[in-house]
Structure 1
Amino acid sequence: MVIDWNQKNGDAPAPERMKIRAAAYVRMSTEHQKYSTDNQIETIRRYAEKNGYEIVRQYADEGKSGLRLVGRDALQSLLSDVESDSAGYQAILVYDVSRWGRFQDPDEAAEIELRCKRQGIAVHYCAEQFENDGSIGSSIIKTVKRAMAGEYSRELSVKVFAGQANLIRLGYRQGGPPGFGLRRQLVDQGGNPKGELSRGEQKSIATDRVVLIPGPDNEVRVVRRIYSLFVADGRGEAEIAEILNAEGILTDWGRAWSRGTVHQVLLNEKYVGNNVWGRTSFKLKQSHIKNPEADWIRADGVFQGIVPTELFQQARSIIESRAERLSDEVMLQKLAEVLGRQGYLSGLIIDEAEDCPSSSSFSHRFGSLLRAYALIGFVPDHDYRYLEINRALRRMYPKLLADVMQGIGAAGGEVRQDPATDLLTINEEFTASLVVVRCIQTSAGASRWKVRLDTALKPDLTVVIRMDLNNSEPYDYYLLPQLDMHEAVLRLCEFNGLSLDAYRFDSLSRFYAMAARTSLLEVA
């Protein structure tokens, strides 16, 4: 028998210390697979047991890049819980400093921790060799580690870019639609064809590559005819577009031809087999940049061309000579006339304008489009920009709608489109309406989206596509059920609280899953 001589007669044993309620946050990024979420959770669990924490909630962002907060649903949910006083825990356990994110600005990671601490919730880094106790030492180490996390992404971006550039020089395609008259072909690491990729399909084996090949004979003949009409017959782009439209020929997106789409066929080097990449960049997911031609990555003659090089050069010479014959003053006068008619200028507007040099001609003559704009006193302004953006979104809407219908079909659902209203009836069970919303940037640099729900159609579900800052690609998606929407107009910010962001998704996979159906015979 063991006697505790320090215990007084009649005293009960000391009660076990109450554990502190805590949440665990884990993230596994696509570029850093070795720290799987399971490994992170195991480390966090051991830390909790050792230090008297009870994990009552877990947040996990799997396969999410840490370059931005956008798209990380779990982290946004965590911050929403913390700041709405509905967390129900007093501490947050994180694997290490880099799990918050590999932001290029270290202050972004610091802000996440600060938002938690302001609500009285402490943050602990379970795999770090320092205690996050607010001391000078821990503050210095955290700052260094945040900077190191951002530098890791920067170095990785450089390596990835170099790898992609090398693949371009070897003749492999790096993303983007093939274009009218061309198709994407999948090849193995030995260059052996494996099959043609249809729209929306991606390669699934890391060692496979994609090359461009000639498309159907009828499309190839149309491309060659465009060049022949332009070079041999002296027809302009707008006149060629009218000829094609009169014959019922559609573009690769299923739309009517325009002066601009014909112009792009005449200028794109892929039709002679050249591989050109890097016209724009979006490094580290910071901002889209138009790169100067000298920085483009190119490899000539790596694809099978469908237009003779000599004919392509003749077409380019004609386009360039249209500007060379004009003085700077005349070119700027024509640009000012387009501005007067349209109220705004963009590369697309210039290329669509009759009797005006192309946007590339202005860039070549004046160094950039922005310089040409400045010379005629035009400054891109939000008061005018929305007109062109709305036109572009209207042109984009049919493709987005077609993609959604294709996704429903691929998931095994049936969809019927009302030709008058575009209302979708899915599996004869519920209706859905597609709304594309442009992004508006405030004077303070914040992003805003104004959503107008179609109250007249009263769809069971509204699929909202929020566009990115440049209004060129979808930013994210909202699936808004009519039962929960009580306002005809919604004004969305980047983060809108759980009441709205609970309906936010990075893709439409959840929507397609709602449409999925499996026959009883197949189940059996």
Structure 2
Amino acid sequence: MVATEHDVGRGRTNKSTEQSTVRAVAYVRMSTDLQRYSTENQLDRIRRFADGRNFEIVRIYEDAGRSGLTIDGREALQRLMADVTSGIPDFEAILVYDVSRWGRFQDADEGAYHEHVCRRAGITVHYCAEQFDNDGSIGSTLLKAVKRVMAGEYSRELSVKVFAGQCRLVQRGYRQGGMADYGLRRLLVDEHGAVKVELARGERKSLQTDRVVLVPGPDREVETVRRMYRLFTSGVGEREIAEGLNRDGIKTDLGRAWTRGTVHQVLTNGKYVGDNVYNRVSCKLRQRRTINDPALWVVAKGAFTPLVDASVFERARAIVEERTRRLDDEELLALLNELLRATGALSSLVIDERDDMPSSSVYRRRFGSLLRAYRLVGYAPDRNYRYLEINRRLRDLHPEVVATVVAGLEDAGGSVVRDSATDLLTCNGEFTASVVIARHRETAAGSARWQIRLDAGLAPDVTVAVRMGPGNTEPLDYYVLPRIDMTGPHLRLAECNGLSLDGYRFDDLGFFFSLAARATLTEAA
């Protein structure tokens, strides 16, 4: 998936002809890499339109393999809009194949907004394959509005069909995305169920007709999973189990030390008893990530070879459910009050560390916020204390994030040297990178803000900024910031920051990891 932009030779020398032509750029987009000839077909229609209307195409902006649901990730469109708003664009028109190539925005007004920005800069947008001229007339305005709604509706209908297809595959026992997790491996099979190959971490199937199933991993890992269940059902807590595994030198599937949370995931995941579970979390149409109610999960019982007996898994489930059974408000507050007397202070970290009470998220959902729950038990936390608690949690998270970045660069084929004192990363001996975590804050009006500190002392070539989401528990998105374009030591970000900053924003770090990829060059004779 690439976004490209290239100039087109003008090939016009007659002075009177040059004066009569209108300088234009073309924008083309295809949604997936499988649409191999889509952009070529679009350009063919755009060029015929330009020849018939006396436009001179001076540059082409191309987003290959990019969804039109949002402007995020569409680097070519972002560069185009940056050129439009630069104040000195060298073109007067933008030629697009049709309204859907401009975007399948779920909010039809978003596509209209981007076109309005162009028109305000004196640049017109022309849809070359539509049956109307974008001339501002009532008829064209109405048709354009309908087309925008239809483009967004197409994506919504396609999303429903794709989801239904994925649910059918899950019910037939096929794995839909995601890592196998500890003790399991992904096995590639063809459309008839014949075994092809075991997939390594990061590998994907190459044929649409192929399917993936889960199979037991190495005997050592399978025995470790069974050991966790034996200990847990005999009364040993998750934290004690994690400590025992770490003492024995056993690492997780990511090569890290075990924690209470990672052990808990193994003890509560249905895949270890052979169940294929899907739709626990959804993020449809590039909207916000949603944790779904168990009633919405799609479950296929006994789809895979189990690692533990069903009776053992059910005993473990019963222990967890009894510990986290639905308590009424008075019982929840009584537990919180007891914890306050035992510790003298409350925080989400203090609550989550207790094995014998619900997590902090339960209190947030039940009482609206932790602060309201604190007030109901007569506790008024100091604001600075909460600030320090969050900062401590983010400091503990930083080494894990850096390790994830190193693993991603190495998986892409890069060689990474990590400075043990500063965590500065040197990739392929060519560029340096620093990873920073930006804490989520809220203004008095409830708006989100992030403060990013660029390390002037280390002067990395690239700063990878991890912008945390509400609650500061999970990353929201990432900014890949080149030093050459950053003029100050600090950046203050809001939810939307304009193309000058949001042009560096990514939903994941795939683009940054690709910078470390190596290509073999064939020597020319």
Q: TM-score range by the shorter chain?
A: 0.7 to 0.9
User: Cα 1:121–1:172, aligned 2, differ >3 Å: closer, same or farther?
Assistant: same
Matching of residues 164-243 of structure 1 within 5 Å: 164-232=166-234, 234-243=235-244
Query: What CA deviation, in whole Å up to 9, does each residue of 1:137-164 have, x standing for no partner?
Result: 1111111111101110000000000011
Matching of residues 354-365 of structure 1 within 5 Å: 354-357=355-358
SS in 1 for 2:58: strand
More divergent stretch after superposition (223-232 vs 159-168): 223-232
User: Match of 1:122?
Assistant: 124
Q: For residue 238 of structure 1, report the CA deviation from its aligned partner.
A: 2.2
Query: What CA deviation, in whole Å up to 9, does each residue of 1:108-167 have, x standing for no partner?
Result: 111111111111111111111111111111111111111101110000000000011111
More divergent stretch after superposition (503-512 vs 31-40): 503-512
SS in 1 for 2:457: coil
User: Match of 2:148?
Assistant: 146
User: Match of 2:432?
Assistant: 431
Is the counterpart of residue 69 in structure 1 residue 64 in structure 2? no
Return the alpha-carbon distance in structure 2 between the equivalents of residues 63 and 420 of structure 1.
40
Kept in 1, the 8 Å contact 2:272–2:306? The answer is: yes
Query: What CA deviation, in whole Å up to 9, does each residue of 1:447-472 have, x standing for no partner?
Result: 65432122232334434445677873
Kept in 1, the 8 Å contact 2:408–2:513? The answer is: yes
Equivalent AA in structure 1 for residue 65 of structure 2: G
User: Cα 1:452–1:140, aligned 2, differ >3 Å: closer, same or farther?
Assistant: same
User: Match of 1:159?
Assistant: 161
Kept in 2, the 8 Å contact 1:230–1:236? The answer is: yes
- Cα root mean square deviation, aligned: 3.7
Aligned equivalent of 1:54, options 49, 53, 56: 56
Kept in 2, the 8 Å contact 1:359–1:369? The answer is: yes
Kept in 2, the 8 Å contact 1:189–1:207? The answer is: yes
Return the alpha-carbon distance in structure 1 between the equivalents of residues 159 and 388 of structure 2.
35
Return the alpha-carbon distance in structure 2 between the equivalents of residues 195 and 385 of structure 1.
50
Q: For residue 29 of structure 1, report the CA deviation from its aligned partner.
A: 1.3
More divergent stretch after superposition (441-450 vs 126-135): 441-450
Return the alpha-carbon distance in structure 1 between the equivalents of residues 507 and 368 of structure 2.
36
Return the alpha-carbon distance in structure 2 between the equivalents of residues 518 and 494 of structure 1.
37
Query: What CA deviation, in whole Å up to 9, does each residue of 1:366-424 have, x standing for no partner?
Result: xx961355699349xxx899778766655654454344434444555432222222222
User: Match of 2:277?
Assistant: 276
SS in 2 for 1:462: strand
Matching of residues 448-459 of structure 1 within 5 Å: 448-459=449-460
User: Cα 1:185–1:21, aligned 2, differ >3 Å: closer, same or farther?
Assistant: same
More divergent stretch after superposition (295-304 vs 456-465): 456-465
Return the alpha-carbon distance in structure 2 between the equivalents of residues 413 and 246 of structure 1.
32
Matching of residues 467-486 of structure 1 within 5 Å: 472-473=474-475, 475-481=477-483, 483-486=484-487
More divergent stretch after superposition (135-144 vs 170-179): 170-179
The sequence identity of aligned pairs, in percent, is 57
More divergent stretch after superposition (493-502 vs 221-230): 493-502
Equivalent AA in structure 1 for residue 110 of structure 2: E
User: Match of 1:265?
Assistant: 266
SS in 2 for 1:251: coil
Return the alpha-carbon distance in structure 2 between the equivalents of residues 502 and 375 of structure 1.
35
Kept in 2, the 8 Å contact 1:424–1:433? The answer is: yes
User: Match of 1:420?
Assistant: 421
User: Cα 1:391–1:210, aligned 2, differ >3 Å: closer, same or farther?
Assistant: farther
Query: What CA deviation, in whole Å up to 9, does each residue of 1:187-227 have, x standing for no partner?
Result: 22122222222222222221111111112222211111111
User: Cα 1:325–1:114, aligned 2, differ >3 Å: closer, same or farther?
Assistant: closer
Return the alpha-carbon distance in structure 1 between the equivalents of residues 421 and 60 of structure 2.
47
Kept in 2, the 8 Å contact 1:130–1:138? The answer is: yes
Runs of 5+ in structure 2 lacking a partner? 1-14, 375-382
Q: For residue 276 of structure 1, report the CA deviation from its aligned partner.
A: 0.8
Kept in 2, the 8 Å contact 1:25–1:60? The answer is: yes
Q: For residue 492 of structure 1, report the CA deviation from its aligned partner.
A: 4.1
Return the alpha-carbon distance in structure 2 between the equivalents of residues 222 and 465 of structure 1.
33
User: Match of 2:287?
Assistant: 286
More divergent stretch after superposition (411-420 vs 98-107): 411-420
Kept in 1, the 8 Å contact 2:233–2:316? The answer is: yes
SS in 1 for 2:20: coil
User: Match of 2:107?
Assistant: 105
Kept in 1, the 8 Å contact 2:412–2:514? The answer is: yes
Return the alpha-carbon distance in structure 2 between the equivalents of residues 38 and 385 of structure 1.
56
User: Match of 2:372?
Assistant: 377
User: Match of 2:44?
Assistant: 42
Query: What CA deviation, in whole Å up to 9, does each residue of 1:150-185 have, x standing for no partner?
Result: 110000000000011111101111122222211222
More divergent stretch after superposition (444-453 vs 77-86): 444-453
User: Cα 1:376–1:438, aligned 2, differ >3 Å: closer, same or farther?
Assistant: closer
Kept in 2, the 8 Å contact 1:438–1:471? The answer is: no
Is the counterpart of residue 401 in structure 1 residue 402 in structure 2? yes
Is the counterpart of residue 94 in structure 1 residue 96 in structure 2? yes
User: Match of 1:490?
Assistant: 491
Q: For residue 322 of structure 1, report the CA deviation from its aligned partner.
A: 3.2
Equivalent AA in structure 1 for residue 202 of structure 2: G
Return the alpha-carbon distance in structure 1 between the equivalents of residues 397 and 200 of structure 2.
20
User: Cα 1:495–1:296, aligned 2, differ >3 Å: closer, same or farther?
Assistant: closer
More divergent stretch after superposition (187-196 vs 24-33): 24-33
Return the alpha-carbon distance in structure 2 between the equivalents of residues 325 and 476 of structure 1.
36
TM-score if structure 1 supplies the norm length? 0.83
More divergent stretch after superposition (87-96 vs 419-428): 419-428
User: Match of 2:12?
Assistant: none
Return the alpha-carbon distance in structure 2 between the equivalents of residues 78 and 20 of structure 1.
17
SS in 2 for 1:318: helix
More divergent stretch after superposition (450-459 vs 172-181): 450-459
Equivalent AA in structure 2 for residue 377 of structure 1: R
**Larger Rg: 1 or 2?**
1
Equivalent AA in structure 2 for residue 185 of structure 1: L
Return the alpha-carbon distance in structure 2 between the equivalents of residues 327 and 510 of structure 1.
47
Kept in 1, the 8 Å contact 2:439–2:450? The answer is: yes
More divergent stretch after superposition (241-250 vs 433-442): 433-442
Return the alpha-carbon distance in structure 1 between the equivalents of residues 204 and 109 of structure 2.
36
More divergent stretch after superposition (160-169 vs 500-509): 500-509
User: Cα 1:332–1:513, aligned 2, differ >3 Å: closer, same or farther?
Assistant: closer
Query: What CA deviation, in whole Å up to 9, does each residue of 1:334-362 have, x standing for no partner?
Result: 246668877554xx9755423214689x5
User: Match of 1:134?
Assistant: 136
Return the alpha-carbon distance in structure 1 between the equivalents of residues 165 and 389 of structure 2.
36
Return the alpha-carbon distance in structure 2 between the equivalents of residues 520 and 146 of structure 1.
44
SS in 2 for 1:221: helix
Is the counterpart of residue 245 in structure 1 residue 246 in structure 2? yes
SS in 1 for 2:236: coil
Is the counterpart of residue 462 in structure 1 residue 463 in structure 2? yes
User: Cα 1:322–1:464, aligned 2, differ >3 Å: closer, same or farther?
Assistant: closer
User: Cα 1:329–1:167, aligned 2, differ >3 Å: closer, same or farther?
Assistant: same
